[in-house]
């Protein structure tokens, strides 16, 4: 039997770079605190747009080598965050980036969007039963912004959490295990609007500025149940991790842009919505630790029971 760290966090993402943008501070913090941080990325991001002109040849309509290149970017990002356990769903290259919603790439047989849900979930069940995470982080049902791979990552993560707990499902993948808490990534509207206001006020190098509608996972502030605030060190690690994804992201101080050239805030505070399990915070208060209430240290009896959110 393998000994596991006491606290274990699993994150499920669609493409290399999503983890650093959404959860870089959170991953850096829990890795530094000695938790096991496991990242499962579902595709290699083969259909991403390439920002640096001298790497344009990597693009899918030219050499089609962006996927393997991004494996290296992800590895560098994980070094920046101090995360050592990162994997691709079903192994690198098992599922291909599906491209934007409606693109012909959606229909390729190996596109993640075409994956059989239970087959894809079974790959994740194996990981869940191996690392036995108390906390799972993934996207909301719209994947934050409607990208097919983000929607599919949400579906696979939620289905795998359900199947992993069923003793009758694939006993060959290990003993049944129920994840204590599941969170969806989110961005409270007031933070997004404040960040965009700072960007408008600051000097910056971007051709344009995003609107709140361009930022994924924006929710009313009241929907946020957990907030992880980055120290200087964790914010620096997140920034370095985002810079490691240099085919996809341009970072300028506390701001960044994707290939659409629209500047947006690089958030040093990350937010979550608890959708399964007990909150470790007093009723009405936000948690400041995703493990609150699951590791024997927090006040489970004071936490409100969060019911499974129906899709
Ligand atoms: Zn993505």
Write down the domain spans for the chain.
Answer: 8-276
Hunting for tokens 């190098």 — which residue is that? 205
Q: Say how far apart CA 168 and CA 77 lie, in whole Å.
A: 37
Residue 119 in contact with residue 83, Cβ under 8 Å?
no
Q: Say how far apart CA 229 and CA 224 lie, in whole Å.
A: 13
Q: What angle do CA 90, 48, 14 make, to 5 degrees?
A: 35
The verdict on whether residue 147 carries a ligand-binding annotation is no
The verdict on whether residue 140 carries a ligand-binding annotation is no
Residue 172 CA, ligand 1 centroid: distance in Å: 31
CATH of domain 8-276: 3.40.50.10320
Residue 240 CA, ligand 1 centroid: distance in Å: 18
Hunting for tokens 């009241």 — which residue is that? 222
Residue 296 CA, ligand 1 centroid: distance in Å: 34
Beta bridge partners, 135, equal 9, 181
Q: Say how far apart CA 89 and CA 26 lie, in whole Å.
A: 21
Residue 259 CA, ligand 1 centroid: distance in Å: 12
Q: What is the pLDDT of residue 310?
A: 38
SS3 of 87, please?
Answer: strand
Residue 134 CA, ligand 1 centroid: distance in Å: 24
Q: What is the pLDDT of residue 203?
A: 81
Q: Say how far apart CA 174 and CA 274 lie, in whole Å.
A: 26
Q: Say how far apart CA 184 and CA 139 lie, in whole Å.
A: 5
Residues of the chain with pLDDT under 70: 1-2, 295-311
Residue 17 CA, ligand 1 centroid: distance in Å: 7
The verdict on whether residue 15 carries a ligand-binding annotation is yes
Residue 11 CA, ligand 1 centroid: distance in Å: 13
Sign of CA dihedral 245, 24, 210, 199: negative
Hunting for tokens 């996972």 — which residue is that? 217
SS3 of 97, please?
Answer: coil
Residue 14 CA, ligand 1 centroid: distance in Å: 5
Q: Say how far apart CA 130 and CA 145 lie, in whole Å.
A: 31
Residue 150 CA, ligand 1 centroid: distance in Å: 6
Residues in the chain: 311
Beta bridge partners, 253, equal none
Residue 29 CA, ligand 1 centroid: distance in Å: 22
Q: What is the pLDDT of residue 309?
A: 43
Q: Say how far apart CA 239 and CA 2 lie, in whole Å.
A: 33
Residue 142 in contact with residue 219, Cβ under 8 Å?
no
Tokens of 280: 């470790």
Q: Say how far apart CA 50 and CA 61 lie, in whole Å.
A: 11
Task: Return the DSSP state at 214.
Answer: G
Residue 123 in contact with residue 90, Cβ under 8 Å?
yes
Residue 302 CA, ligand 1 centroid: distance in Å: 36
């Amino acid at each position: 039997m393998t000994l596991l760290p006491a606290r274990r966090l699993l994150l499920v993402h669609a493409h290399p770079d999503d983890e650093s943008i959404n959860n870089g501070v959170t991953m850096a913090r829990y890795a530094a605190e000695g938790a096991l941080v496991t990242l499962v990325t579902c595709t290699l991001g083969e259909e991403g747009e390439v920002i640096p002109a001298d790497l344009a040849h990597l693009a899918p309509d030219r050499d089609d080598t962006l996927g393997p290149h991004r494996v290296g970017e992800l590895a560098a990002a994980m070094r920046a965050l101090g995360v050592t356990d990162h994997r691709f769903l079903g192994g690198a290259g098992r599922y291909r980036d599906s491209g934007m919603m409606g693109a012909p790439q959606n229909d390729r047989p190996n596109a993640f969007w075409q994956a059989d849900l239970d087959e894809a979930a079974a790959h994740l069940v194996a990981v869940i039963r191996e690392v036995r995470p108390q906390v799972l982080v993934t996207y909301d049902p719209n994947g934050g912004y409607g990208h097919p791979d983000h929607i599919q990552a949400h579906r696979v993560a939620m289905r795998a959490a359900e199947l992993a707990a069923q003793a009758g499902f694939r006993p060959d993948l290990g003993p049944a295990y129920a994840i204590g808490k599941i969170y969806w990534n989110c961005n409270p509207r007031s933070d997004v609007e404040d960040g965009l206001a700072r960007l408008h006020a600051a000097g910056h190098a971007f051709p344009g500025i995003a609107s709140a509608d361009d930022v994924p996972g924006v929710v009313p502030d009241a929907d946020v149940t957990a907030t992880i605030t980055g120290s200087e060190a964790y914010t620096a690690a997140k920034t370095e991790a985002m810079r490691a994804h240099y085919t996809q992201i341009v970072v300028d101080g506390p701001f960044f842009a994707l290939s659409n050239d629209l500047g947006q805030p690089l958030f040093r505070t990350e937010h979550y919505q608890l959708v399964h399990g007990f909150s470790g915070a007093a009723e009405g208060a936000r948690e400041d630790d995703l493990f609150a209430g699951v590791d024997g240290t927090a006040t489970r009896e004071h936490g409100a029971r969060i019911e499974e959110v129906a899709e």
